[in-house]
């Protein structure tokens, strides 16, 4: 997060923010009326911006949006495993159709999926899950995938 | 929630713990050697064996750490069944046993936990990081480990219900490459007769306060449910959660465990030829004193060692965490791209360097104690070709980039040392746990 160009803070306490969906437009934040209640903080960085959604139960979802307005990455830290259908949208299919050679399973602990245009990492245990997913072809050319965390 | 069959039993367990605690305090108060007036110390050492487990080399997994558990009807020492091939897991909390493994003492003979006024039973959907899950009822049981008895502790009976698993729990799509569609309710899928979670973090329940708040009942991935006959399952709050059985011991050996494993050769050891000890209690008996040479790594509020440093780069919890985890078969250390300059090459999810490589990382605990941890990584293909089952140098990716990489010190780390897993102090059945051997470790600790 070292390339902070300017920081724009918008606090929307008490509203019902929802999750953006990987690969869709930023407006999907408001389309989804998911049960996540809390705070949406938007920060602008060089080449992208981030919606950080946090709730009182300790869930944090970060959505990474390109200048074209597309969500190119999502990251999560949560006490209950997030709804991946909600977070990943159509990329759930990529998760479910990944072959064994594209999938590394850590028995009971975690999973890594690496396909040509979809990367997914999840790990943890009850009380503390974390991971991220991104679409390499949607990541802005001047932005490192390292930001999706 | 109500708990028809369990409440009286739980109170009895409390009283027993109080009585035992008083006896211990009176007998052992001033000096460590005035034990003549106490009841004999419990036999506190269970044997663990390293290998493929019940499924053997073709279906089991390497570096499994197995022990034997005796499950009894609550407050019974006679209606019991001994179950082997139970995985010892410092990465989770509580005992989970396959329904199919409970034969002579069926699940129906264990204590029920009613979750509504109709007596419908409490169920749990426990998710795992690979998106697999175990689904089944919570039962109260006496759990015997070595000479220790956990009195009337909640366990999960995996597969012990006819109700379908709630879709709310499985909003995370199950990876279809997993056995049995990710539903680990068979020996073939789980690879074990059960899991014994003896982790340090989250005293002593698997879900904790998150499952006592009604505001969480709409969360996907929520674990606890009631499933009335003919109706869909509903998420419910409960304080009768699966709990680390150590805390329910009637002895004072209830503040943590020691895992002691011998050294093994770099090329590994054959299936079931390596044995070690799972010792209960830390600083409670002559055999489990916290060694003065051990460094205590206090955990942070996420249950992690907060920071590890490799090659001048610092990785910090919660984004980049590190844990000591007997339930992991490998050293899950950064990722192959990040470690490429050090000579790491990936091979089907593991690391396959052309020669054995030595690494060292610095770990720093929540109370700022730190130490250097040295380990080696050998070519995983070479290791697997030996057909051995125990390896101290098997490693693989934790993630895909430093953004989410972590360091899960799996079973390879535990060979040739004693690791203390100090439980987070807290309250179980109204009783405060005995003092931690490392009092500054608010969330528990590891020491080695």
> Is A109 in contact with B328 (Cβ distance < 8 A)?
yes
> Is A35 in contact with B349 (Cβ distance < 8 A)?
no
Interface mutation target, options B399, B406, B407, B408, chain A, most CBs of A under 10 Å? B399
Question: Is residue B416 assigned to a domain?
Answer: yes
> Is B128 in contact with A108 (Cβ distance < 8 A)?
yes
- On chain B, the residues whose CB falls within 8 A of the CB of A59 are 219
**DSSP 8-state symbol, B139:** E
Show the DSSP H helices in B155-232 as ranges.
Answer: 187-190
- Put simply, whether A93 touches B (Cβ < 8 Å) is no
Residue A12, pLDDT score: 39
Q: Which of A81, A106, A124 sits opposite B332 (nearest CB)?
A: A106
Pairing mode of beta strands B256-261, B274-280: antiparallel
B12/B62 same-domain check? yes
Question: Is residue A78 assigned to a domain?
Answer: yes
Distance from CA of A120 to the nearest CA of B (A): 8
For chain B, counts of helices (H) and of strands (E): 4, 27
Average pLDDT over residues B91-95: 95
Number of neighbouring beta carbons within 10 Å of residue B22: 10
- CA torsion angle B310 A111 B385 B48 (round to 10): 80
Q: What is the tally of structural domains in chain A?
A: 1
Residue pair A49/A65 in contact (Cβ under 8 Å)? The answer is yes
Which three-class secondary structure state does DSSP give residue B156?
A: strand
Which tens digit of pLDDT belongs to each residue from B323-335?
A: 999 999 999 999 9
**Which residue range is the domain that position B318 belongs to?**
286-447
Residue B6 has pLDDT above 70, yes or no: no
Residue B261, pLDDT score: 98
The chain A residue lying nearest B303, using CA atoms, is: A128
Residue A33 has pLDDT above 50, yes or no: no
**CATH number for the domain harbouring residue B430:** 2.40.70
Question: Is residue A64 assigned to a domain?
Answer: yes
Question: Is residue A3 assigned to a domain?
Answer: no
Q: Which of B202, B216, B223 sits opposite A57 (nearest CB)?
A: B216
B82/B194 same-domain check? yes
B229/B320 same-domain check? no
Question: Is residue B168 assigned to a domain?
Answer: yes
> Is B399 in contact with A127 (Cβ distance < 8 A)?
no
Question: Is residue A16 assigned to a domain?
Answer: no
**Weakest-pLDDT range from A25-29, A82-86, B204-208:** A25-29
Residue B100 has pLDDT above 60, yes or no: yes
**DSSP 8-state symbol, B354:** S
Distance from CA of A18 to the nearest CA of B (A): 13
Average pLDDT over residues A76-105: 91
Q: Which residue has the higher pLDDT, B39 or B343?
A: B343
> Is B210 in contact with A124 (Cβ distance < 8 A)?
no
- On chain A, the residues whose CB falls within 8 A of the CB of B200 are none
* B328: preceding bond cis by omega (within 30 degrees): no
Output the average pLDDT for chain B. 89
B51/B157 same-domain check? yes
- On chain A, the residues whose CB falls within 8 A of the CB of B223 are 80, 126
Q: Of B156-160, B169-173, B424-428, where does the model show the most confidence?
A: B156-160
Residue B295, pLDDT score: 95
Question: B248, B270, B296: which is the final residue of a domain?
Answer: B248
Residue B203, pLDDT score: 67
B46/B141 same-domain check? yes
Q: Which residues contact B182 (CB under 8 A, 6 or more apart)?
A: B130, B131, B132, B133, B174, B175, B176
Task: Give B74's pLDDT tier (boundaries 50, 70, 90).
Answer: very high
Output helix, strand, coil percentages for chain A, rounded to the nearest 5. 20, 40, 45
B225/B358 same-domain check? no
Question: Is residue B402 assigned to a domain?
Answer: yes
Question: Is residue B268 assigned to a domain?
Answer: no
Which tens digit of pLDDT belongs to each residue from B188-246?
A: 999 999 999 999 877 689 999 999 999 999 999 999 999 998 899 999 999 999 999 99
B210/B297 same-domain check? no
Task: Give A37's pLDDT tier (boundaries 50, 70, 90).
Answer: low
Residue B10 has pLDDT above 60, yes or no: no
Between positions 32 and 61 of A, the ones with CB within 8 A of B are 35, 56-59
Residue B445, pLDDT score: 94
Interchain CB contacts (distance < 8 Å): A and B: 167
Average pLDDT over residues B369-384: 97
> Is B172 in contact with A83 (Cβ distance < 8 A)?
yes
Interface mutation target, options A54, A109, A135, A144, chain B, most CBs of B under 10 Å? A109
Which tens digit of pLDDT belongs to each residue from B13-45?
A: 333 333 333 333 333 333 333 334 455 677 999
Question: Is residue A41 assigned to a domain?
Answer: yes
Task: Give B442's pLDDT tier (boundaries 50, 70, 90).
Answer: confident
- Put simply, whether A18 touches B (Cβ < 8 Å) is no
Residue A57, pLDDT score: 86
- On chain A, the residues whose CB falls within 8 A of the CB of B203 are none
Question: Is residue B162 assigned to a domain?
Answer: yes
Question: Is residue A23 assigned to a domain?
Answer: no
pTM of the model: 0.89
Residue B441, pLDDT score: 84
**Weakest-pLDDT range from A106-110, B61-65, B294-298:** A106-110
Question: Is residue A14 assigned to a domain?
Answer: no
Q: What is the tally of structural domains in chain B?
A: 2
Residue A3 has pLDDT above 80, yes or no: no
**DSSP 8-state symbol, A76:** E
Average pLDDT over residues A15-23: 62
- Put simply, whether A117 touches B (Cβ < 8 Å) is no
Query: What is the rounded end-to-end Cα distance, in angstroms, of chain A?
Result: 10
The chain A residue lying nearest B338, using CA atoms, is: A146
> Is B175 in contact with A130 (Cβ distance < 8 A)?
no
Question: Is residue B255 assigned to a domain?
Answer: no
B298/B439 same-domain check? yes
Q: How far apart are CA A44 and CA B141, in angstroms?
A: 54
B95/B46 same-domain check? yes
Task: Give B154's pLDDT tier (boundaries 50, 70, 90).
Answer: very high
B244/B348 same-domain check? no
- On chain B, the residues whose CB falls within 8 A of the CB of A56 are 215
Residue A5, pLDDT score: 40
Q: Which of B129, B206, B213 sits opposite A122 (nearest CB)?
A: B129
- On chain B, the residues whose CB falls within 8 A of the CB of A78 are 221
Residue pair A20/A74 in contact (Cβ under 8 Å)? The answer is yes
Average pLDDT over residues B178-190: 94
**Which residue range is the domain that position A47 belongs to?**
28-136
- Put simply, whether A83 touches B (Cβ < 8 Å) is yes
Which three-class secondary structure state does DSSP give residue B427?
A: strand
Q: Which residue has the higher pLDDT, A54 or A11?
A: A54
B31/B174 same-domain check? yes
Question: Is residue B263 assigned to a domain?
Answer: no
Residue B111 has pLDDT above 70, yes or no: yes
Question: Is residue B253 assigned to a domain?
Answer: no
Residue A19, pLDDT score: 58
Cα distances from A46 to residues A6, A28, A64, A66, B408, in angstroms, run 8, 22, 12, 10, 33
Distance from CA of B34 to the nearest CA of A (A): 42
The chain B residue lying nearest A58, using CA atoms, is: B210
Question: B194, B225, B248: which is the final residue of a domain?
Answer: B248
Residue pair B295/B437 in contact (Cβ under 8 Å)? The answer is no
Residue pair B93/B205 in contact (Cβ under 8 Å)? The answer is yes
- On chain A, the residues whose CB falls within 8 A of the CB of B332 are 106, 109-110
Q: How far apart are CA A29 and CA B185, in angstroms?
A: 37
Q: Which of A86, A109, A148 sits opposite B130 (nearest CB)?
A: A109
B14/B112 same-domain check? yes
Residue B95 has pLDDT above 80, yes or no: yes
Residue B35, pLDDT score: 39
Residue A142 has pLDDT above 90, yes or no: yes
Question: B248, B277, B312: which is the final residue of a domain?
Answer: B248
């Amino acid at each position: 997060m070292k390339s902070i160009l300017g920081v724009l803070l918008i606090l929307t306490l008490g509203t019902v923010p929802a999750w953006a969906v990987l690969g869709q437009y930023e407006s999907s934040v408001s389309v989804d009326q998911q049960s996540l209640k809390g705070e949406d903080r938007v920060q602008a960085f060089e080449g992208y911006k981030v919606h950080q959604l946090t709730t009182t139960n300790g869930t944090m979802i970060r959505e990474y949006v390109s200048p074209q307005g597309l969500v190119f990455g999502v990251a999560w830290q949560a006490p209950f495993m997030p709804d991946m259908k909600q977070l990943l949208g159509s990329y759930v299919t990529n998760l479910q159709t990944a072959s064994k050679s594209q999938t590394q399973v850590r028995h009971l602990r975690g999973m890594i999926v690496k396909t040509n245009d979809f990367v997914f990492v999840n790990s943890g245990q009850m009380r503390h899950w974390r991971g991220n997913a991104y679409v390499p072809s949607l990541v802005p050319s001047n932005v490192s995938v390292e930001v999706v965390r | 929630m109500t708990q028809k069959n369990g409440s009286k039993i739980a109170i009895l367990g409390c009283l027993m713990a109080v009585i035992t605690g008083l006896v211990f305090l009176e007998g052992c108060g001033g000096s460590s050697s005035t034990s003549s007036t106490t009841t004999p110390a419990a036999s506190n050492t269970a044997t663990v064996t390293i290998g493929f487990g019940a499924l053997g080399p073709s279906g089991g997994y390497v570096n499994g750490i197995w022990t034997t558990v005796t499950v009894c009807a609550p407050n019974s020492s006679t209606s019991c069944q001994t179950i082997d091939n139970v995985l010892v897991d410092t990465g989770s909390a509580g005992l989970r046993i396959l329904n199919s493994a409970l034969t002579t003492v069926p699940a129906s003979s264990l204590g029920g936990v009613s979750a509504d006024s109709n007596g419908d039973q409490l169920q749990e959907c426990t998710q795992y990081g690979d998106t697999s899950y175990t689904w089944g009822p919570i039962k109260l049981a006496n759990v015997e480990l070595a000479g220790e008895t956990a009195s009337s502790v909640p366990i999960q009976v995996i597969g012990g219900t006819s109700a379908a698993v709630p879709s709310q729990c499985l909003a995370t799509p199950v990876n279809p490459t997993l056995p049995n569609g990710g539903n680990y309710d068979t020996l073939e899928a789980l690879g074990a007769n059960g899991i014994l979670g003896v982790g340090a973090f989250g005293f002593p329940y698997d879900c904790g306060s998150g499952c006592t708040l009604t505001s969480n009942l709409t969360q996907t991935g929520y674990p606890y449910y009631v499933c009335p006959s003919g109706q869909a399952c509903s998420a419910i709050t409960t304080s009768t959660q699966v709990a680390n059985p150590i805390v329910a011991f009637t002895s004072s050996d209830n503040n943590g465990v020691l895992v002691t494993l011998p050294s093994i050769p770099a090329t590994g050891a054959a299936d079931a030829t390596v044995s070690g000890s799972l010792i209960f209690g830390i600083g409670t008996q002559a055999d489990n004193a916290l060694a003065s040479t051990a460094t205590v790594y206090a955990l942070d509020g996420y249950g992690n060692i907060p920071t590890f440093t490799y090659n001048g780069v610092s990785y910090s919890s919660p984004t980049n965490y590190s844990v000591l985890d007997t339930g992991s078969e490998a050293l899950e250390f950064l990722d192959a791209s990040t470690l490429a300059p050090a000579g790491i090459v990936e091979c089907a999810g593991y690391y396959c360097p052309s020669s054995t490589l030595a690494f060292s990382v610095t770990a720093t605990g929540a109370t700022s104690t730190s130490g250097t941890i040295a380990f080696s990584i050998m070519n995983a293909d070479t290791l697997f070709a030996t057909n051995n089952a125990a390896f101290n140098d098997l490693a693989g990716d934790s993630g895909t980039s430093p953004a989410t990489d972590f360091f899960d010190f799996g079973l390879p780390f535990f060979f040739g040392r004693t690791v203390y897993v100090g439980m987070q102090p807290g309250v179980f059945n109204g009783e405060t746990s005995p003092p931690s051997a490392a009092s500054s470790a608010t969330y528990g600790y590891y020491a080695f």
